[in-house]
Each structure stands twice: as C-alpha cells, then as structure tokens.
Structure 1
C-alpha cells in the first residue's frame, strides 16, 4: 500500500497547481514534525479562553470587546500602551494568531510575549513590549527584535532576506550599496501573524503567510508563565487574538505523522482530492477530519 501511494503521489505531482507566491516562503525554515503538525492541524473553537485578552492586565487606554478577543486602543497622546492574554502557558508548544491591520499599526507596533509582571503603560512613544527584561517583542514596522530595552537583531535575519540569486553567490558585505539598501528595507508584515511559543525548548518564533520564519528568541525562562502580548501607540488600533492549537512535549503519533506526510505531498491546491487517494474510506475520513 505504501509503495502504491508513493507512486500515485509522485505521478500526480506534475498536475499540481503552484500555490500563490509571496516574499515570505523563500524565507521559511524547516520545522520539526511536532511544529509542522501543530501548524497544519485544525484550530480549536474560537471561544477558547486562551483567545481572550486580559481584562485586568492591560493599559487603561485599551478597551476590550464583549467577547474579549479584540482590543482597541483609545486615542491618547504621549502614551505607550500594552495588553497581554488572559491565559499564559508554562509548558508545551502553542500557536496563537494575532490580527492587526497594517493601517492600524502606526509606529512602535509590537507583538510578542511577556511575563505576568511586565509593565503595560509608559509615558511617551516607545517600544513597550521588549522594552524591559520581562518581555520579548517583534516591532512590525522595522522588523526589529527587542528585549531588555535593546534591539537584538533584524527578523527575519538579513542573510535570508536576499533574493535567491544574490543569496547564492554573494555575502551581504560584498553587495553594492543599491543591493544593500534593498536587503535592509523592512518587510511589510501582513495583518495575520502566528506567534509560535515552545515553552519546553524556551523559544519564540513567528509564522507569516503559512511560512515559519524561524526562532526569533531563545533561552526564554523555564517554569514561568508566559503570555502573548502586544503594545501600541496608535489611537484606534484594533488587535485580535485567537488561540489556534497546542501540544505537549510528547512525540507526535505515527498516524498523525503519516497523515501530515500525505497532505504535504498533495500540496495545498490538491488537498480537496483526498478522496481520490488509493486508501480505505476510513483513512479518507481521518485525513479529511483532522487537517
């Protein structure tokens, strides 16, 4: 059966329709099977408490929606304001989606994680999340990573932001000024960003347009509750939080890994053809219901 399925998949590969390309797929990095399964699994119901912003741990300039899944920053001058999720995690691998339209960001728009006692308001316009040792933030407008009040790096890193032909033959320091300027131009981050927190490994990364961009922060504190968080200085900014999925540190089940392998070979454009695979109906149902 395995050989038949492999031949069928390889034989149909030429019929696949390429998925829409953006700037982010070339920047994607390989993921572990644990993360790949989590990113490809169906999202939990939207009413999950991990999708709620906290009604207590927020700046008074952030107003919550009745469902607690959206916050709106009220117009306020010379103030930097933050809010964190109602529920944090101490272990496991977890993925949240933050929806924040680019036109509602302004300057100093930051997403990331924080500890429970992270400051959520300060005077002036500044990067609040990542502005101290209790939080880690990705500033969307500049693509900079912040922690401890310092810029740590550009994310995605410069070496992966070269166009593929340039990346093959030249190092960044040998590029002419025109190419150097092009690679240093911040990427426009779309409205939906997935926050990927592996509390077991102590890492935080982000996924955009279905592409995991790699680990942004390492050596996060272990055994400490960590919360998704955002900070903003723009009046009228509306930010949504949705918990997508999570898993424990246990190895993935073999059946789930097999299902993931099948769907990866099919590709996004052909996943509606699962029922045509040379598999028993029970396995058709499993693939359709789990992914």
Structure 2
C-alpha cells in the first residue's frame, strides 16, 4: 500500500487525462451513531447535542479508482472546534467520548480541520502540519478532491485549488467522511462527479462564487475544471 504522507501543496506539471461519464450520486451517508441523524435520504446530517463527545459520518460508497469531487456545505455559525472533513476507510472508528479531532486521529482516516488549518492522519495533540501555507477563512462551501489514480487528497475553496493535502492513498477504498462536535450542526455533502478511463465528460455544475464570496449560480469554476481535466 505504501506510506501515507502529508503534503502542503503540489506544483507538478499537469498532464491531460479524461473524465469518466459517471455523475450519479453516491448512496448517501451512513447513520452509524445515535448522536447523528442522517436526513433527506442521506444527503445531509444533523448532530444531536451531546456533551463530551465527537461524532462522525461516512459515505455509503467508497472509491478505489478514479478522481472524485464532492461539495461540503457547512454553515459558519455551526462549526465550533474540531470541524474536520476528509476521507476514511470502512474500519475507521467514528465516535469518541471526548472533544477531539476525530477524523485523522488514527491510521484509517485523513482529515483537514479547516477552522484551524491543520492536517491530521495518525495525529494526536500538537504537531499537525498547516494546510495550506497560510490560515484561511473558509466559506460555507468547500470542495474535496480525491484522486485514487494518484493516491492524493486535496481541497478547493471557490475558484482556488489549495494543493495536495495527503499522498500515498493508492490501494485503499476510501469514503467521504466528516466529524463534528457542534450540537445541532447541519452539514450537507453533495457528490459532483468522477473522472476515470478514456471517455470525456464534464463534471456536473458546481456553484460558482460571485464577488462577495457566496454561490450565485451553477457552473463549475474554471480553476477547478482545469484541475479536474489536467491534474
């Protein structure tokens, strides 16, 4: 399987690859814990108020091939500490009985605590690397980009791809995952599409940002489209 490495960005020369015509939504989120309620057929979840605990959710569909992108919608006022987005294996433990960065605290998950700009994989306590290079104010929507052909995970905000966050993921089956501590937070995950094989097809639309930084209309942002086509 190879080692899993943390990375803070990639500037390698892109080469053209194709998109695979698979734009179906995954089967939704898996309801694993009593503190998490999955709603709308698995499209979003709400965490019930529960002190001294951290809970996570995982998508029902895992990916071992192709490049995949999904959108996380997480209201700013519902985040609190330890708001983490990333991926996990089917074996990743998702509950814990204290406040913590749950996603990325073990060998079965990888996560970005985007409130503090830290990357986590088998990481506990101080020492987590900064991602990206400087602290960002993350808006309500962000993108997660999982490339299982290259074995990398990265993130995008608006029209900006932030670079590779994790490497060494090839040979695994990984699921979209989120962990949270904020009571009654409502987080939505929307699968955007997949690139694989030799056929070409654009991904479904992504909300493009207007000058105020909030989504205005459908349409994949040019920078994200370039990344998906040529990374």
Range into which the TM-score falls when normalised by the shorter chain: 0.7 to 0.9
Note if contact 1:84-1:114 (Cα within 8 Å) is conserved in structure 2.
Answer: yes
Shift of 1:187: 1.6
* Aligned position for 2:92: 118
Note if contact 2:82-2:181 (Cα within 8 Å) is conserved in structure 1.
Answer: yes
* Aligned position for 2:209: none
| DSSP 3-state at the match of 2:77 | helix
* Aligned position for 2:208: none
* Aligned position for 1:66: 40
Counterparts of 2:40 and 2:50, CA distance in 1: 22
Q: 1:105 to 1:229 in 2, by over 3 A?
A: same
* Aligned position for 1:49: 26
Matched, 1:235 2:183: yes
Q: Which has the higher helix share?
A: 1
Shift of 1:111: 0.3
* Aligned position for 1:87: 61
| DSSP 3-state at the match of 1:97 | strand
Q: 1:70 to 1:231 in 2, by over 3 A?
A: same
| DSSP 3-state at the match of 1:67 | helix
Note if contact 2:146-2:152 (Cα within 8 Å) is conserved in structure 1.
Answer: yes
Q: Which has the higher strand share?
A: 2
Q: 1:252 to 1:29 in 2, by over 3 A?
A: farther
| DSSP 3-state at the match of 2:96 | strand
* Aligned position for 1:179: none
Shift of 1:66: 3.1
Bigger CA radius of gyration = 1
| DSSP 3-state at the match of 1:121 | coil
RMSD of aligned Cα (Å): 2.8
Note if contact 2:21-2:195 (Cα within 8 Å) is conserved in structure 1.
Answer: no
**1:80-137 residue CA offsets vs partner (Å, 9 max, x unmatched):** 1001111110111000111111111000000000010101101110000001111000
Note if contact 1:29-1:213 (Cα within 8 Å) is conserved in structure 2.
Answer: no
Note if contact 1:34-1:251 (Cα within 8 Å) is conserved in structure 2.
Answer: no
How many residues are matched?
193
Counterparts of 2:22 and 2:16, CA distance in 1: 15
TM-score (norm 1): 0.60
* Aligned position for 2:215: none
Q: 1:225 to 1:28 in 2, by over 3 A?
A: closer
- List structure 1 runs of 4+ shifted beyond 4 angstroms: 27-31
Q: 1:102 to 1:113 in 2, by over 3 A?
A: same
TM-score (norm 2): 0.75
Counterparts of 1:188 and 1:127, CA distance in 2: 19
Shift of 1:28: 9.8
